[in-house]
Structure 1
């Protein structure tokens, strides 16, 4: 059980808590971890048309994954990783699709960071993953 774990990270303390949890699980099960960071984009409207604009630099996204891989490998965990790109509102679907494509048996995610009006404007990634995933989902809380 939990031999192929997909860990969603974002470079925050929440992502660090996800890494702690999947590292412990992988040690117990002898599993491997696939780290994913989705470089979020948003649509900037200008009249009728819109332009898709990334909200972080490509190098920053790659560093999030590289740091996560180094941390897991230092713990003796077999780990691979990738940076994907997508609109904020598609993040949950991207994670679920990648988990299916990779044959993952667990998706580990942190809680949403939004509060107030921002929580109304941005869908909860963890809730979306939990609602649509065909495999188990681990929601990892942190003190952050």
Structure 2
């Protein structure tokens, strides 16, 4: 059924639930898992003296991936690899979808933050954008 699972993680507490769901899915299937973390950057104008603002450092981003890989291995998932990338905040869905295609994912697993009201209007929904364009089934973990 699912032999290649792509799981997108971040540094939020909800990631623990996402990883537990992936372990429950991957172990009995003997599936391969790729842990994906997309480090976001914002470009600011700054009145002509613009620049790039990183939400987290490269070492923090790598730690998110390493911690997730370690948790999946400790949960009994045999084949796990990590991948970290960087993109503009507005391009996160495309980065995840590109990785799903490149990896040949049979299923994509990610969390849903469930923004409501104005937060959803201004922040958008990464999971919503991914679900509507994914090349494979998507498992959203609440």
Q: TM-score, normalised by structure 2?
A: 0.91
Range with greater deviation from structure 2 (42-51 or 54-63): 42-51
- Whether 1:101 and 2:102 are equivalent positions in the alignment is yes
User: Structure 1 residues 22 and 120 mapped into 2: Cα distance closer, same or farther (>3 Å)?
Assistant: same
Q: CA deviation at 1:6?
A: 0.4
Q: Which secondary structure state, in structure 1, belongs to the residue aligned with residue 38 of structure 2?
A: strand
Q: TM-score, normalised by structure 1?
A: 0.90
Distance 2:49 2:94 in 1: 24
User: Structure 1 residues 39 and 113 mapped into 2: Cα distance closer, same or farther (>3 Å)?
Assistant: farther
Distance 1:132 1:7 in 2: 16
Range with greater deviation from structure 2 (118-127 or 87-96): 118-127
State the number of aligned residues.
Answer: 141
Does the 8 Å CA contact 2:4/2:31 hold for their aligned counterparts?
yes
Does the 8 Å CA contact 1:33/1:79 hold for their aligned counterparts?
yes
Q: Which ranges of 4 or more aligned residues in structure 1 deviate by more than 4 Å? A: 113-116
Structure 1, unaligned runs of 5 or more = none
CA-based RMSD: 1.6
CA-to-aligned-CA distance 1:7-42 (integer Å, 9 cap, x gap): 011021221111000111001211011001111111
Equivalent residue number for residue 32 of structure 2: 32
